Amino acid sequence: MLLLQTVEDTVSDEDIRGFLSRYGFPPFVSIERMAGTGIRPAVLLAFHDLQPEALRLLQARIHHVFWNDHGIEAIIVPGPTE
């Protein structure tokens, strides 16, 4: 699972999908929006059949990228089976 911080709730799922696909991510299978305290709204994304090593490589591509007027923080969150 991947947590993207500083993604405003006004950013659509399609915009997130497009951003990630530009950096080589496969489509996510679920998205959960997490309200922040005003400065760190986030989305939690799950991917199907994405190996942890591959997720780490992809995460490095977008961590601290400036997108939609914010620096994105990409954090790997262990899933229930990891």
For residue 32, being part of any structural domain is answered with yes
Q: What is the CATH number of the domain that holds 53?
A: 3.30.70.330
The domain containing residue 69 runs over which residues?
2-76
49 lies in some domain = yes
Residue-wise pLDDT for 3-62, tens only, equals 999 998 899 999 999 999 999 999 999 999 987 666 789 999 999 989 999 999 999 999
Does 81 fall in a domain? no
How many domains, in total, are found in the chain? 1
Does any domain span residue 82?
no
* Residue 58 maps to a domain: yes
pTM above threshold 0.75: yes
Residue 72 counted as domain residue? yes
If you ran DSSP here, which 8-state letter would residue 66 be given?
E
